[in-house]
Amino acid sequence: MTPDDFRRYGHQLVEWLAAYQEHPERYPVLSRNAPGALIDALPAAGPQHPESMDRILADFEAHIVPALTHWNHPGFMAYFATSAAGPGILAEFLAAGLNANAILWKTAPAVTELEQVTLAWLRDWMGLSEHWFGLIFDTASIGSLHAILAAREAAAPSFRVEGSGPRLTVYCSEHAHSSIDKAVMAAGIGSANLRKIGADAEFRMRPDLLEKAIKEDLARGAKPCCVVATVGTTSSTSVDPVPAIGAIARRHGMWLHVDAAYAGSAAIVPELQWLLDGVEQADSLVTNPHKWLFTPLDLSVLYTRRPDVLRQAFSLVPEYLRSRENPRAVNFMEYGIPLGRRFRALKLWFILRYYGRDGLAAMIRAQVGWMAELAAQVEAHPDFELCAPAPLSVVCLRHRSDDETNRHILESINAGGEIFLSHTMLAGRYVIRVAIGNQNTTRDHVQRAWQLILNASSR
């Protein structure tokens, strides 16, 4: 592509994206495509001869866009809603153009050092001390896998060399994210050695049951290795009692990992900093700016107070990657599995600077307020119940009748194209989740979702 063509089509795409942002509601939030429709619409074999950008872009509009579910749509209120803020999109554009790859500090000093700078800013805003070392991965699933591998290294270094060791056990609440199960499986600890600890009536891990499970495992000769506490569980955003869990972990010499993938961002809001109470005793913490900090996918941060252990678990430097030692030149490849590292920190830097802590906190604070209002409306309604406390940006609600009615409400709303909701099970019952986090979502959108739920329930 010549620089002139690049300029021409680049301008065209910026125009397209600006219009997309101006009218995010132009498309139905959920794709109306049937499974396989895009595969059927595209040629089975790749083009033998070059095709023009005009044709490629026309097909993008005709085939790709209809096959998208629009995370940037303000009516996207399913799972944990997210959106890509403008400064982050522009930074991604630059990062792709620069194509910097920080396999080593010297192959891209800016990639490594901007990661250090932005993660220190974010750490301070979240109220964490300067003892935390941070690095970026694509997802929380990978960050948590690294944390559990570090915990395994601390408990049983023989795994790294021999691929075996004592029988390790890991603990998390029954509401922990499935990424923890996968990490335990991938780490070779075995899902049978993951103890799911029961929760209280507000879906928080019960420390007394944790203590009991650890004692039982010790009596059986297992070696308790790691506890995972969740700050902001996926189903209900409940917050595990980290101070009590941390005290137990310390008493038994275990690694404490905190999964704050969703709620960690909210800790930049001064009055929500309680979310991370007790986290200073943890060994690692994962948080996803790509969830609730308006950062385009993907950018997840793993912080650890024990980078030495992470390094011990992963450092392996072949001759062709050797470089002169300099304590200021950090080679992140020594702290994890990936060698190649793309310039993810650039988008975080753009976002942190463009909005500032106050701007980001104001967006999160407003969303929390709209959801508190919705929670109060649900509680006051005779036909609905609030199924969990709603301290953040998710309201779990349920029509008082039965699971089938609630399923019907959800399906009829999702068929409308205006709002996209998802569900979960809490206390064995089907629950509708209304989750916001998208910067385009306003109080009006939340109220509209509530109205649609009420309408659907009366049909």
User: For ligand PLP, which residue of 236, 287, 300, 304 counts as binding (CB under 6 A)?
Assistant: 300
Residues numbered 179 to 238 that lie near ligand PLP (CB under 6 A) are 179, 230, 232-234
Query: 112 near 120, Cβ under 8 Å?
Result: no
Query: Site for ligand PLP (CB under 6 A): which residue of 92, 153, 217, 259?
Result: 259
Q: What is the dihedral of CA 127, 139, 361, 353, to 10 degrees?
A: 90
* Residue 140 interacts with ligand PLP (CB under 6 A): yes or no: yes
CA dist., res. 120 & res. 356, Å (int): 14
The two structure tokens encoding residue 251: 């008493």
424 belongs to the binding site for ligand PLP (CB under 6 A): no
Measured between alpha carbons, how far is 314 from 128 in angstroms, rounded to an integer? Answer: 25
In the complex with ligand PLP, the residue whose CB is nearer, 116 or 139, is 139
422 binds ligand PLP (CB under 6 A): no
Tell me how far, at minimum, the Cβ of 139 lies from ligand PLP, in Å: 3
CA torsion sign for 153, 157, 158, 161 is: positive
Query: Which is closer to ligand PLP, CB of 78 or CB of 310?
Result: 78
Q: Does 141 bind ligand PLP (CB under 6 A)?
A: yes
Q: Does 82 bind ligand PLP (CB under 6 A)?
A: no
| β-pairing verdict for 194-197 and 255-259 | unpaired
Candidate residues 69, 116, 139, 440; the one interacting with ligand PLP per rule CB under 6 A = 139
CB of 139 or CB of 447, closer to ligand PLP: 139
Is the Cβ of residue 300 or residue 406 nearer to ligand PLP in the bound state? 300
Please tell me whether residue 292 binds ligand PLP under the rule CB under 6 A.
no
Which is it for the CA torsion 239, 187, 288, 417, positive or negative?
negative
Q: Closest CB to ligand PLP among 24 and 232?
A: 232
Tokens coding 115:
């990661």
- Pairing mode of beta strands 194-197, 168-173: parallel
How many beta carbons lie within 10 A of that of residue 440, not counting itself? Answer: 17
Part of the chain binding ligand PLP (CB under 6 A), chosen from 194-202, 213-221, 256-264, 337-345 = 256-264
Shortest Å, Cβ 256 to ligand PLP: 16
CB of 142 to ligand PLP, least distance (A): 7
- Tokens 């004692």 correspond to 215
Closer residue to ligand PLP (CB): 156 or 435: 435
Q: Please report, for residues 88, 178, 243, 261, 459, the alpha-carbon distance to residue 289 in angstroms, rounded to integers and kept in the order given.
A: 11, 19, 24, 8, 39
Do residues 242 and 278 lie in contact, with contact meaning Cβ atoms separated by under 8 Å? Answer: yes
Instruction: Using CB under 6 A, list all residues that contact ligand PLP.
Output: 80, 139-141, 177, 179, 230, 232-234, 259, 261-262, 288, 300
